[in-house]
Structure 1
Amino acid sequence: MVDSHYDVIIIGTGAGGGTLAYKLAPSGKKILVLERGNFLPREKANWDSHQIFKKERYRTTEVWYDKHGKAIRPLTHYYVGGNTKFYGGALFRFRENDFNRVIHKEGISPEWPLKYQDFAPYYTQAEKLYEVHSQQGLDPTEPQITEGYPFPPISHEPYIQEINDALKDKNLHPFYLPLGIKLNEANRFLSSCIRCETCDGFPCFLNAKSDADINCVRPAVAYENLTLITQAKVIRLHTNTSGREVTGVETEIAGKQYIFSGDIVVLACGAINSAVLLLKSANDTHPNGLANSSNLVGRNYMAHKFGVVIALSTKANPTVFQKTIGVNDFYWGEKDFPYPMGSIQLLGNINKDRVAANAPPFTPGIIAEKIANHSVSWLLITEDLPDPKNRVQVKGEQITIEYTNNNEQPFNRFIQRWISVLKSIKLNSQKGHFSVFMPQKMSLKDVGHQCGTCRFGENPETSVLDINCRTHDVDNLYVVDGSFFPSSTALNPSLTIMANALRVGEHLLERMS
């Protein structure tokens, strides 16, 4: 920390920042990576559902607030690798039409300034970097993929294979989820992954999940020109008198203040915290927040409309690794509802601790265990439409998320439509069927798919970033997390954030050369 000037400073190590660090590390440029958290400890609690879901061992203790002033404990984590340490590893490419203007039942999803073809080569690079397993040709909405997936699909266990076949009998098109995981089913001696039941929502004790920490940050820190400082919280960005250049990155480390400088500064704090940092960095030249001449920093916050459908059968579910099926037949709607509805994917196993964490108070343990042992859980994602009134704000030191639900009609229809499908299928070998359903909608605290707070575009009046994710107002300031999304689509955002980081990294290498 003695030499405080760098060619590039990257703030954050998640899907965006970690991937960018990996891309830039071989350049020989002097790079500083700042992460507010530490490396996540490898310990027995990594696989302890009681510690993770009941005691919330790894979750931030931060408190945010909703538009009514009610406290929110956000479901987010501050570690090297960010939220990818806990994600399920579902790494989807957005569909070609997701980049176009799309009419929804309750609004419009705007056109992106770049198209699928602009991201396609970087999707390919990201899939290789994050070791994505899947199979082409099964998903009817699948975009063009020229090279195919780098690894074969993760196989279905017998009970899940029955569900897969039953869905096909209903003329649906289930497919293998594209998963970033270090599993070699052909040779278990070469496999880091042991295909356990503590994957989706858990950190991996074996480092067998393809997360930004393991796949990107750790290879990057092997280069002598890259310095990683953990437990370093950036609290403010300083500019020169013209406001056109960031000259200082004010950082708190072990209770002391440091100011680092860099030719290029990149925010990758997550869509909420990147917006917060820009807003907190207001100065005389940028009175409404840094890079905020458009008054759009923090606006158009999106995080998807999530629903979980827990389907119960009289027959026990013996599956260990469950998260292998996706269904996109309703992504663009259906015959009598010509509006997008969304995507469906299996979730990892739920056990009694996970059920109890979301059940009404005083639910008996035996009930929670019965539900866990006889259930299959599905995640339904409907697009969250951008709305400038849905925004991240800073009031003093208080972070507020002002959010009003939208796109509710297709979301509700989607949940009921999927329940009707599950009711109709039969599981042959066990002569079972799903007869009890527990739909749950996730709330404002579920920020894992956060995006949209610094959208990119060509017009400085209607966007915060240009098409290379550089702020229109500040020449050496970039943002490479999900902030840049003009729309949320109805698919997991991680792969698009990773692909974009590789794309922006290529631009930065050209700029620095």
Structure 2
Amino acid sequence: PNTGQGKIDAQTGPLAEALTDPNIRLETGAHVDWLEAAPDGKSIAAIHYTQNGAQKTLSPKLVILSAGAINSAAILLRSPSAKGKGLANSSDQVGRNFMNHNSSAMLAIDPRRRNNSVYQKTLMLNDYYLSDGKGGKPLGNVQLLGKIDGNMLKANVKTMPKFVLDFMAGHAVDWYLMCEDLPDPESRIMVDGKEIVMQWRRSNMQSLEGLTKVMRENLRACGYPIVLSRPFDKRTPSHQCGTVKMGNDPATSPLDPFCRAWDHRNLFIVDGGFLPTSAAVNPALSIAAQALRVADYLRKTELAA
């Protein structure tokens, strides 16, 4: 199809080969329930999934699990194992070290100036990413928040009259303050039957408090008489990671540096779960870079002719 940015030729090349290869099948509308280990426990023998209400099984050569930091961990924890701790979990680290950004929304309000922006996420600053600006510890990243309106504020301040919230939103410049959450084995994802239980233990909150303080001072110095802030809680997930971390030691990490499970040679987990630490920025490019690295590794090893 012509995408406007050039053409993708579906008649030739790797895409055409994949679409016509009888050994490649794309299953849609499928929900993976659990993985089954081989009798020796050293590989994954089958994927059990539900499709259109029917229970189905697939026995692959390779299993690449990319369901996100929460769901990948949940699938592994739900999967039967000899010790009852789930698969890829001899280290007892699957689901642990859950990290989420410590973040706040900040509104800089000037009743004399109306903000007519629609697409507001156009500016960010890293002045406080490596230090607090005075030689102290790192704080985090600051960027514009997508433009809020009175309805969004009403969801959090139900007793305030709507016209007041509309006025505030219309005269506010909205900011998003984002700081690093640090790994903690007791900050974790667990499962209770089909339910997922999140036990998030925030860390490094002093950085968010410091960034909030310095940005409030900066915005007031810029002439905004009203500066309001509110931290996001666990209802606002931001770039979850760390639940199936990679490392150099199978005793302390579920994955090796190429995202292969130490316990199962044909299982790879490639999503935000592999990150051993978080950051104060969006990790999408780091995840994509590691995915390309793992793909090249698989091509040269597992898929080599």
Query: Shared fold by TM > 0.5?
Result: yes
- Equivalent position to 1:354, from 120, 128, 152: 152
Match of 2:10 in 1: none
The whole-number CA distance in structure 1 between the counterparts of 2:16 and 2:37 is 28
In the alignment, structure 1 residue 274 sits paired with structure 2 residue 72: yes
C-alpha separation in 2, matches of 1:361 and 1:240: 54
- CA drift at 1:347: 1.4
2: distance between equivalents of 1:254 and 1:229? 11
Distance 1:437 1:399 in 2: 37
- Check whether the contact 1:456–1:469 (CA below 8 A) recurs between aligned residues: yes
1:229 maps to amino acid: E
* Contact 2:179–2:208, Cα closer than 8 Å, also in 1: yes
Distance in 1 of aligned mates of 2:213 and 2:283: 25
Aligned residue for 1:494? 284
Flag the structure with larger Rg: 2
Q: Does the 8 Å contact 1:221/1:228 carry over to 2?
A: no
Q: Give the corresponding residue for 1:470.
A: 260
The amino acid of 2:157's aligned partner reads P
Tell me the alpha carbon deviations over residues 250-284 of structure 1, each in whole angstroms, 9 at most, x when there is no partner: 01111110001211101111101101100000322
Aligned partner (choices 267, 291, 298) of residue 88 of structure 2: 291
Alignment of 1:213-228 (within 5 A): 223-224=18-19, 225=21, 226-228=24-26
Cα displacement string for residues 442-474 of structure 1 (whole angstroms, at most 9, x for unaligned residues): 111222310000110111011110010000000
Count of aligned positions: 289
Counterpart check, 1:322 vs 2:127: no
Q: What letter corresponds to residue 501 of structure 1 in structure 2? A: A
Q: Which of 249, 265, 275 is matched with 2:63 structurally?
A: 265
Could you tell me which runs of 5 or more consecutive residues in structure 1 were left unpaired when the two chains were aligned: 1-181, 183-189, 192-218, 426-432
| Of 457, 466, 481, the match for 2:271 | 481
1:306 maps to 103
What is the distance in 1 between the residues matched to 2:171 and 2:150? Answer: 11
1:406 aligns with 2:196: no
1:451 equivalenced with 2:241 (yes/no)? yes
Match of 1:235 among 33, 43, 61: 33
Alignment-mate amino acid for residue 450 of structure 1: Q
1:379 and 2:176 matched? yes
Does structure 2 retain, via aligned residues, the 8 Å contact 1:221–1:227?
no
- Report if aligned partners of 2:49, 2:55 keep a CA contact under 8 Å in 1: yes
Q: Provide the residue aligned with 2:9 in structure 1.
A: none
Does 2:182 correspond to 1:392?
no
> What is the deviation of 1:333?
1.6
- In 1, the alpha carbon distance for the partners of 2:274 and 2:118 equals 37
| Alignment partner, residue 251 of structure 1 | 49
Match of 1:43 in 2: none
Q: Give me the whole-angstrom Cα distance separating, in 2, the residues matched to 1:356 and 1:230.
A: 38
Distance of aligned partners of 1:302 and 1:220 in 2 relative to their CA distance in 1, 3 Å threshold = farther
Residue 220 of structure 1 and its aligned partner are, at CA, apart by: 6.3
CA shift for structure 1 position 495? 1.3
How far off is 1:223 after superposition?
4.2
Per-residue CA distance 1:88-122 (angstroms, 9 max, x = gap)? xxxxxxxxxxxxxxxxxxxxxxxxxxxxxxxxxxx
Contact 1:355/1:371 (8 A) holds in 2 = no
After superposition, the CA RMSD in angstroms is: 2.0
Secondary structure of 2:247 counterpart: coil
